[in-house]
Structure 1
Amino acid sequence: MSLFSDNIRYLRSQKRISQESVAAALKITRGRYVKYEDGTTEPPYDILQRISHYHHLSIDLLLSVDVRKVSVENLLKLDDNRILLPIMMDKQGNNLIEIVPLKAKAGYIRGFGDPTFIQDLPQIALPFLGAGKHRAFPIEGDSMPPHDDTAFIVGKYVENLSDVRKGKTYIFVLPDDIVYKRLGEKKTKSLLVKSDNTYYDPYDIKLSDILEIWEFACSLNTKEATAALKSETLEDIVKELRNDMRLVKKKLN
């Protein structure tokens, strides 16, 4: 048995339909379909695609998530059946926003496609954000002022790469990191991203490395604003001095 075979057997039983009916819909014989449910044979890609479309669930979810433990009704279906995201509602019908704590950042990279992991994250509601799937991510470092280590960026899920725009800021979920950057240029096989802090050099992110993209929707800052000192805050002055020292060291090296 496999997780996939358990899933398709469970989904069929929930719909209370026969193996013959599913096989007919997939345009294969019942004998061939039975082997997929028994786990004795793995379906080729074309049949896997048909099964995915038949149940309106992504291939990734069918292969890696135990659907018996997830409320399928609470999953957000996206175009082309590419992926499904868990979407939770409060009593007023507002979409709940999952918050990825800093300590869960590494875990998110491994578990972003697992509805059970996502549903365990803390949640808030921000009704003013409107339609779309939103999620909050922690910020590290000083590369994107005024956001710092105390801030969270709430991003709106980007379904298609064609929707990203030069000059806008995005959360990029990568295999080894989650970064918040401004899009500088769209290339054939990569995106040039840059920091608003000019000390940091722009760099390319390969399209093949991007797991998720979330467009900036708003920021949540847990730090109180500092009092102004003339035209600048003390914090701004310290950051400027720090950047000047880094530039001097960079030139010396």
Structure 2
Amino acid sequence: MSFLSDNIRYLRAQKSMSQQKVADELVITRARYSKYEEGASEPPLEVLLRISRFFHVSVDLMISVDLRKVPMQELLKLEDNRILLPIMVDSTTGNNFIEIIPHKARAGYLTGYADPEFIQNLEQISLPFLREGKYRAFPIEGDSMPPHQEGSFVIGGYLERLEDVKDGRTYIVITANEGVVYKRLYRKDKETFELHSDNTFYDPYLVKAYDILEIWEYACSIATEEFMPEDLQEPDAKAMFKEIKYMLNDLAKKVKS
């Protein structure tokens, strides 16, 4: 918890409160709270949660990000759970910027998605028809979700509650195991989702709700390459040709082995 002591000292100063006043709010002694600010000891989980709720900053940001370097006034707070979501806002207009996750940063998104400094350094765009809500652009890899080609970007709107996922709609899903994927979702039960590719060559698979770190609902997409005539083939025929290609590649590997 290398940042915790500095962060709570900084946040307390922002509120212009004494250590005794904060300790009273947390229902602990001032001496105990003072040790947390000095870094002499670390708070147990229940006290850490109280500190997080008191300062309205999520636990992961509290312990993993130097909040003194973060423009807190430009970050959006989620309404219900008091977590600070690192999405940048135009301080003059109040409109949300759309951060672009480049292909080279896609792998690092799992470690940086909750870090305001990581998000702040991303390229940003603004689309006039996407004003309300929180949006982010993710790069597409592979051919599992035609007609979206590799190199395209899908812009997703942040979904605060998994209960709002609609069967058959497409979403950017971020999990610790799979990373960043773009799939069509179906709810299997209260705790499980089935993720489908529109390219039937790829089998669907299950993801537990508790493994989902973030989920973004499809809002629009940006193609970075022109569609070619072969892209306009009948979907079934195109899928068949791709499946044959994969079968031949697999057969070639087996023959070589």
1:167 positional shift: 0.4
5 Å-filtered alignment, 1:71-82, equals 71-78=71-78, 79-82=80-83
1:142 positional shift: 1.1
CA contact (8 A) 2:74 2:91 kept: no
- 2:170 corresponds in structure 1 to 169
- 2:12 corresponds in structure 1 to 12
CA contact (8 A) 2:200 2:239 kept: no
Q: 1:202 aligns with which of 196, 201, 204?
A: 204
- 1:33 corresponds in structure 2 to 33
Q: Is the aligned partner of 1:185 residue 2:187?
A: yes
Amino acid at match of 1:224: E
- 2:64 corresponds in structure 1 to 64
CA distance, structure 2, for counterparts of residue 12 and residue 98 of structure 1:
30
Amino acid at match of 1:93: G
CA distance, structure 2, for counterparts of residue 239 and residue 161 of structure 1:
31
1:184 positional shift: 2.5
Percent of pairs with identical residues: 51
Provide closer, same or farther for how the CA distance between residues 125 and 57 of structure 1 changes in structure 2, counting only shifts above 3 A: same
5 Å-filtered alignment, 1:39-188, equals 39-78=39-78, 79-89=80-90, 91-176=92-177, 177-188=179-190
CA distance, structure 2, for counterparts of residue 228 and residue 107 of structure 1:
34
Amino acid at match of 1:181: K
CA RMSD of aligned residues (A): 2.6
Name which of structure 1's ranges 41-50 and 111-120 shifts more when overlaid on structure 2: 41-50
1:85 positional shift: 2.2
1:30 positional shift: 0.9
Name which of structure 1's ranges 84-93 and 139-148 shifts more when overlaid on structure 2: 84-93
TM-score, with length taken from structure 1: 0.89
CA contact (8 A) 1:90 1:96 kept: no
| 1:204-227 CA distance string (max 9 Å, x none) | 123232211111010011112335
SS of aligned partner of 1:60: helix
1:93 positional shift: 3.5
Name which of structure 1's ranges 56-65 and 92-101 shifts more when overlaid on structure 2: 92-101
CA distance, structure 2, for counterparts of residue 19 and residue 148 of structure 1:
56
1:39 positional shift: 1.2
SS of aligned partner of 2:244: helix
1:47 positional shift: 1.4
| 1:54-97 CA distance string (max 9 Å, x none) | 11111111111100000111121112124522322174432110
CA contact (8 A) 2:201 2:239 kept: no
Provide closer, same or farther for how the CA distance between residues 238 and 188 of structure 1 changes in structure 2, counting only shifts above 3 A: closer
Name which of structure 1's ranges 113-122 and 32-41 shifts more when overlaid on structure 2: 32-41
Amino acid at match of 1:84: L
CA contact (8 A) 1:139 1:151 kept: yes
